[in-house]
Chain A
């Protein structure tokens, strides 16, 4: 029973992180009908930015509120800018081309980022060498949030532990999701987003600045991804260049399960996937974990291809 509860908590914590990444997928898909393959890798870049900021900030600021905020804000801003760049130079020129071209571009960017970051590149400036690219080896992520047990109940042999980072990621994720829901349904920008998502040509005719809305969506999604990536790195204490690809894929699976393009759906899908993975690791073996997500995806596509919350839509011509 305690074991079950513990897995439940761990699974939910993992799920909230997937949810943040899945939101980025879902939003971009919503406005562009593009699976942004590079989304996970943008997240990875964000984590490395966070790593660099924490490193420059120095150990004495770890664990302080200001220090943590600084790491998160810088990394989220950097990612938003990066997302904007990718959209401007890689996706926008292809918007009127067949969708396959943007998909291949996205795959190309993802591949270039995840393998580019595996290179070792350092430059020597004035005697000190600066690492530009981190190399393939995994690195220990700075303990900006010092892990400790927030809550424990039960006896020594049988107990359930809740970690401080689990609580923190849950709170941050919940806050961001509520904020996003408000943004999409209560603001002018949100209304513009929904209009572009419905039909971007009509939206343009109505005077909505489509380019700006799409760019904004990309920035928002990328910032969310950076935040999720940092939470992930704090949880798993390590970073490596391929982390984005795997987390990104799983988040995509979560988005599809929930119905791609649907914000609450992505959250539910992500929680379901997080729980599912945690139970597989807990009760069978962790080596099956990666297979579960994709098995799940194929099942969902077979049974309910529009996802749990998605609506069937006829394709517009």
Chain B
């Protein structure tokens, strides 16, 4: 009765073995997948006329669509400016945008398509660190530089020497808030409520805890929740008993709003602090009055009076309506860093562009002055904002 099944299994086993012996010797195509491409971008400069094409991968649909669309708008604006000013090397710059639906496998697919089909010189993207991590190895293998506007996880640029970013990294944000809390707000002891489901929150918590202690403060306790939870009372009750002066909640706005409300309900009146994950209009709807007076670290503030920033904001408003958020500013900066590098580079091959991007120093971005360090991360100041009357208000700039 089972003989056929058994023989099917045996066939499978034999086949697998056969595959091992046979597939392997003839299967150089797999590494060959990658290798022939390595050379391709370089011998291509035959096409020295026509538009310069760069690629962008972003989440235009899916759960993080709002992020992706802001970034795309910023990039579009930067290219418009550059082309109006005569383009790069007398050629216009064009961007091809692919949507990755906020999925890593789609990000990888889009990057492959950009590099192999569209032959882009450079790739911009992504916002979410996990998607950037999907793109980075592909860019690295093909020796095409990649600039991420706003992936703050440190591991992104560790994927290779072709991967850059124009934003600060998570540890820096933790440091900024620790410094501000200790030195400006003069807090002696704080508590932390972290989201264990997000690498971002865990990373910020680690650095904040260490730095705050180094600066002479005391972290009384760390409680945790998981993204998507809706009842934070157990954790908040525990925190209330510690009587901290400040509560650091490095999470995302949709959880933070509810946390703030439940904290106030429980009579926990400590000042709350957070990171750029709070940056959304939704925060004010969810948190209401409970969120007032909190402090957050962020990439830039639209209130920055410098003419460059105000100019950017007015152009953005004119084209897309609405005040640009941090992601739009970072997208704008990423595209400008790329354009500058292309202008300086002797040719548009991957290695030449890479070298020039790495040399970026004191570049005046709208979200702070950018200098690339040896880890290809931007070294730049962060701003601290306070929630006042249902809006973020600029209070300070913290330098690295």
Interface residues of A (CB under 8 A from B): 6-7, 10, 14, 136-140, 147, 157, 161, 235-238, 243, 278, 281-282, 285-287, 289-290
Number of A-B contacts (CB under 8 A): 60
Q: Which residues of B contact A289 (CB under 8 A)?
A: 226, 229
Do B285 and A140 touch across chains, with their CB atoms under 8 A apart? yes
Interface size of B in residues (CB-CB distance below 8 Å): 25
Q: Which chain A positions have C-beta within 8 A of B303? A: none
Q: List 6 A-B contacts (CB under 8 A).
A: A6-B234, A138-B254, A140-B286, A238-B286, A281-B234, A287-B197
B23 at the interface (CB under 8 A from A): no
Q: Are A137 and B282 in contact (CB under 8 A)?
A: yes
Query: Which residues of A are found within 8 Å of B224, using beta-carbon distances?
Result: 285-287
Say whether B261 contacts A237, CB under 8 Å: yes
Answer whether A238 and B63 are a contact pair too, CB < 8 Å, given A138-B258, A286-B225.
no
Q: How far is the CB of B292 from chain A (nearest CB, A)?
A: 15
Chain B residues near A238: list those with CB within 8 A. 230, 257-258, 286
Cβ A139 vs Cβ B234 within 8 A: no
User: What's the minimum C-beta distance from A59 to chain B, rounded to whole angstroms?
Assistant: 12
**A137-B254, A285-B224 known; A10+B234 contact, CB < 8 A:** yes
Closest Cβ of chain B: how far from A282's Cβ, in Å?
5
CA distance A278 to B68 in the complex (A): 37
Report how far A236 CA is from B234 CA in the complex, Å: 12
Cα distance A6–B240 when bound, in Å? 14
Q: Given A286-B224, A286-B225: A140 and B231 within 8 A (CB)?
A: no
Task: Report yes or no: B229 in contact with A286, Cβ–Cβ below 8 A.
Answer: yes
Least Cβ–Cβ distance between A51 and chain B, in angstroms: 13
3 A-B pairs with least C-beta separation: A236-B230, A287-B226, A287-B196
Closest B residue to A290 by beta carbon equals: B226
Q: Are B226 and A286 in contact (CB under 8 A)?
A: yes
CB distance from B72 to the nearest CB of A (A): 19
A157 and B241 in contact, given A10-B234, A238-B258 (Cβ under 8 angstroms): yes
Chain B residues with Cβ below 8 Å from A290 are 226
Known contacts A140-B286, A236-B231; A285 and B265 CB within 8 A of each other = no
Contact across chains for B226 and A147 when beta carbons are under 8 A apart: no
Interface string of B259-290 (1 = CB under 8 A from A): 00110010000000000000000100111100
Please measure, in the bound complex, the distance between the C-alpha atom of A42 and the C-alpha atom of B108, giving whole angstroms: 38
Partner of B63, one of A14, A136, A140, A282: A136
Beyond the given A140-B288, A286-B234, A287-B226, please list 11 additional residue pairs across the A-B interface where CB-CB is below 8 A.
A10-B233, A14-B231, A138-B230, A238-B257, A238-B258, A238-B286, A285-B226, A286-B224, A286-B226, A286-B235, A289-B226
Expressed in whole angstroms, the Cα–Cα distance for A289 and B224 within the complex equals: 12
Given A285-B224, A287-B226, A289-B226, also A139-B285 (CB < 8 A)? yes
- Residues of chain B in range 335-371 having any CB-CB distance to chain A below 8 Å: none
A236 in contact with B254 (CB, 8 Å): no
A112 to B261, alpha carbons, bound, how many Å?
A: 31
In the bound complex, how far is the Cα of B261 from the Cα of A161, in angstroms?
Answer: 17
Write the chain B residue with the least CB distance to A236. B230
Residues of A within 8 A of B288 (CB): 140
Q: Which residues of B contact A278 (CB under 8 A)?
A: 234
Residues in B neighbouring A139, C-beta threshold 8 A: 285-286
A238 to B259, CA, bound (A): 11
Other-chain contact of B258, A237, A281, A282, A285 (Cβ < 8 Å): A237
A287 and B225 CA atoms in complex are apart in Å by: 6
Bound Cα distance from A10 to B230, whole angstroms: 14
Let me know if B234 and A140 touch, CB within 8 A. no
CB-nearest residue of chain A relative to B65? Answer: A136
CB distance from B265 to the nearest CB of A (A): 5
Contact B257 A140 (CB under 8 A): yes
B310 beta carbon closer than 8 Å to chain A: no
B7 adjacent to chain A (CB < 8 Å) = no
Residue of A nearest to B226 (CB): A287
Instruction: Please report the C-alpha to C-alpha distance between residue A285 and residue B222 in the assembled complex, in whole angstroms.
Output: 11
A138 to chain B: closest residue by CB: B254
Q: Which residue of B lies closest to A246 (CB)?
A: B228
Q: How far is the CB of B1 from chain A (nearest CB, A)?
A: 25
Please determine whether B196 and A285 come into contact, CB atoms closer than 8 angstroms.
yes
Q: Which residues of B contact A281 (CB under 8 A)?
A: 234
B237 touches A (CB below 8 Å):
yes
Nearest-Cβ distance from residue B19 to partner chain A, whole angstroms: 36
Complex Cα–Cα for A161 and B268 (A):
14
| Cα(A290)–Cα(B225), bound, Å | 12
